Chain A
Amino acid sequence: MAVGLPVPKLDVPDECESMSESMDEVRVLRLQKDFHLHRLECGPEMLVRLGKEDAKVYYRQMVAIRRLEAAASLLYKERLVRGFCHLYTGQEACAVGIKAAMRPEDTLIAGYRVHGWAYLMGVSALGVLAELTGRLSGCAKGKGGSMHMYGQGFYGGTGIVGDQVPLGAGIALAKKYSNNGGVCFALYGDGAANQGQIFECFNMACLWKLPIVFVCENNNYGMGTSAERAACNIKYYTRGDVLPGIWVNGQDILAVRSAAEFAIDHAQKRGPLLLELSTHRYYGHSMSDPGTGYRPREEIQNVRIKYDPINSFRLLCQGNVILSQNELKQIDDEVRHEVNEAIGRAKKDEELPINHLWSDVYAGHVEGNMRDVHGYNLKHVRTKASNA
């Protein structure tokens, strides 16, 4: 963290000045960057509330995601995680902000950059890391790996770009049909924004007034291709045409939360909405990509210094006397301990036994033994779901 950074300027409205400077008070803060609106008369709140308890939760969640991704990277370099591993580092405020607005009846589906989302939606640090190392304690018992994590109300976890959005539309419809009042968040990236099926979903969602919030996490690069080189219109929040949209500063967790709250309300009462979260990923597309071939190092260094979501939030909390240095440090320590413990266990955890080779292909036992296998009595196994 750079030394000598100015504390973000915040206007405290007049009516708040009479509040005492006690740390237990809820602060009212003004967001720094405006929202940009598409086909909307008014947008999310610029004045947001932040109390101590919430601040602790948000800070802890962002730090946990940051640490989990660092752990994933470490395990990958030790070759305990193989295959493809996509880190969310730098984008923490997007996930934590949306989660902060979500209610128990809301659901979410995302692409492959989902380690953080799995954690937020109830999977333990061990569940995430053991899934990466392909062990039994993983949230999918090691069968899915990095890109296929699932949890309560969290539908994953997809490897094929853009595939998750039609699924999100379907989830939204089903929830509407079952009348539970829930909203589905369907996340995709700037690369996926050019897939045909995204537009098919915009159409369906608007036609049938589905309770869905489309969220485009625009980190400016689809793998190594910058947004301008892939899309003729990079204002992703406008690409739903008649679908209303909002551009949001994705590095500010309170802005994201405000937009997500607005979106939930909109999706329930007026129809679907498209949020574009402007964010940055610090590392490459995946662990196979150094991330420097297509953008200058200074670009991300600059973001780390000026717009890091965790640093900004830490300064905000300290500057507004919401959390003390000690409290923040305590959270840092707790998270470090939690993740380190999970790393240790993920390394040594049991592997999935061989009789699970033919498991969960079907709902149950559809025919004899697995075809053409000799010497093993491989009957199809159906495992019970677990949120490790």
Chain B
Amino acid sequence: MTIPIAFSCVFVIEIIENQASFLDNASAGWMNTNDAVSGNGNLKKMNMFNAINNAMDLALQEDKTALLFGEDVGFGGVFRCSVNLRDKYGNDRVFNTPLCEQGIAGFAIGVANTGATAIAEIQFADYIFPSFDQIINEAAKYRYRSGGLFDCGSLTFRVPCGAVGHGALYHSQSPEGYFAHTPGLRVVIPRGPIKAKGLLLACIKDHNPCIVFEPKTLYRAAVEEVPTNFYTSELGKADILRKGNDLTLIGWGTQVHVLLEVADLSKKHLGIECEVIDLVSILPWDRNTICNSVRKTGRVIVAHEAPYTQGFGAELAACIQETCFLQLEAPVKRVTGWDTPFPHVFEPFYLPDKHRCLAAVREIFNY
């Protein structure tokens, strides 16, 4: 079956069956200078939920005030991120909450207010909306409104997000756009095990309320050699994963792996050298790295699973054209999910897959 694309290009494309096929390339992993890893750490092969589990183990060990709670975290969590932690640290520190997201968020904010470290899990990003009021109106504004007297800086939310192949409307959403709109919060999204551990530990140590959106499809699929010691990834810093002079590709989470494959395909089929950047931090985001890259290449594509209108790509596009206008050779292009609820049956058409991204590369390069 073919999907015709924009400008009568002669690509004939197959529909991708397996959402995780692109991850075959990713298992090699990479270490980035933005990950503050000490030189003599041991490495262990871990998938993303192992890495997150390891991170929380280290956090609970190092910080005696740290608490971990959420729906079903006690037995290990529906994605196995908190396996063995209750046995190790006890029921007082690792415990289940009832099914009440608004309550969980408010409760977590209260814990953090006292200075204790709160690691709260919202089971799926799709369920975060009852907590939205607490996060936006309480967590993000506490320090500001009390003149610095109180804050919930020791608060971190962990939230599985993103498409998984069959999640349909309520197990696939990427809500980073809603939270990016709220000063006072940090929002980060890991692309794999090393980053997941580093970012989580960084957020736990950071003195601001943080949300880590963990792409659930990577929990098992992404495997890397992860340092076993305590390390943090730099917050607010984007990672350049592949250097290139022709075109900048920006993504986060699962989409980063798609873009790396697109960069390979661009080089192979189109002779175009793409620079691939994982934004990592959505709020605040790394303007310097992005703009330096755009000034170099003059062309940029942003890709994300969340819908097109008012997706985070819109913020990037607006800012890039503001700061790099004269260096741009083409408009900033966004390849995103469509403006519909995340579909039950149309998922392969909805996602910004490698074919759509590659078509965008051609379009922007030939502009």
Contacts and interface: CB of A to CB of B under 8 A. Distances in A.
B308 A371 contact: yes
A196 B103 CA distance: 8
B339 interface: yes
B166 A83 contact: yes
A51 interface: no
A166 to B, nearest CB: 11
Given A142-B344, A142-B345, A191-B99, A83 B7 contact: no
Which of B166, B340, B349 neighbours the largest number of chain A CB atoms within 10 Å of its CB?
Answer: B340
Interface residues of B, number: 39
A224 interface: yes
B127 to A, nearest CB: 6
Contacts of B115: none
B10 interface: no
B308 A195 contact: no
A244 interface: no
Interface stretch (B152-160, B167-175, B276-284): B167-175
A229 B344 contact: no
B148 interface: no
B309 interface: yes
A354 interface: yes
B283 to A, nearest CB: 24
A159 interface: yes
Nearest to A357: B346
A143 B99 contact: no
A225 interface: yes
Contacts of B7: 374
B96 interface: yes
Contacts of B350: 357
Interface residues of A, number: 43
A162 B71 CA distance: 15
A6 interface: no
Contacts of A197: 130
Contacts of B3: 375
B16 interface: no
A82 B349 contact: no
B126 A162 contact: no
Contacts of A192: 99
Contacts of B99: 161-162, 191-192, 194-195, 222, 230
By CB atoms of chain A within 10 A, which of B3, B96, B129, B343 has the most?
Answer: B343
A294 B96 contact: no
A276 to B, nearest CB: 17
Contact of A358 (B98, B167, B338): B338
B96 A225 contact: yes
Contacts of A7: none
A82 B129 CA distance: 25
A231 interface: yes
A192 B309 CA distance: 33
Contacts of B84: none
A147 B168 CA distance: 10
Contact of A357 (B4, B6, B166, B343): B343
A5 interface: no
Interface in A146-196: 147-148, 159-162, 191-192, 194-196
A373 interface: yes
A31 B250 CA distance: 66
B168 A145 contact: yes
A143 B96 contact: no
A354 B346 CA distance: 8
Contacts of B349: 354, 357
A294 B339 contact: no
Contact of B126 (A143, A148, A160, A293): A160
Contact of A293 (B75, B339, B341): B75
Given A196-B103, A352-B345, A357-B340, A82 B165 contact: yes
Contacts of A225: 71-72, 96, 98
Interface string A370-383: 11111110000000
A361 interface: yes
B98 A230 contact: yes
B293 interface: no
A334 interface: no
A3 B308 CA distance: 62
Contact of A84 (B71, B96, B168): B168
Given A82-B166, A372-B308, A374-B6, A143 B343 contact: yes
A252 to B, nearest CB: 28
A224 B72 contact: yes
A327 interface: no
B233 interface: no
A134 interface: yes
A28 interface: no
B257 interface: no
Interface in A326-367: 351-352, 354, 356-358, 361
Contacts of B72: 223-225
A316 to B, nearest CB: 36
Nearest to A146: B168
B5 interface: yes
A231 B98 contact: yes
Contact of B344 (A134, A191, A361, A371): A134
Contacts of A231: 98
Interface string A201-237: 0000000000000000000001111000111000000
Interface string B1-13: 0011111000000
A240 interface: no
A192 B127 CA distance: 13
Contacts of A160: 126-127, 129, 170
4 smallest beta-carbon distances between A and B, as pairs: A374-B6, A82-B166, A159-B170, A194-B98
28 contacts: A82-B166, A83-B167, A84-B167, A84-B171, A142-B344, A144-B169, A144-B344, A145-B344, A159-B170, A161-B99, A191-B98, A191-B99, A194-B100, A196-B100, A224-B72, A225-B72, A230-B98, A293-B75, A294-B75, A352-B345, A361-B341, A370-B340, A371-B309, A371-B339, A372-B336, A374-B7, A375-B3, A376-B4
Given A194-B99, A222-B99, 12 more contacts: A84-B168, A159-B126, A159-B170, A159-B171, A196-B102, A225-B98, A230-B99, A357-B349, A357-B350, A370-B340, A374-B5, A375-B5
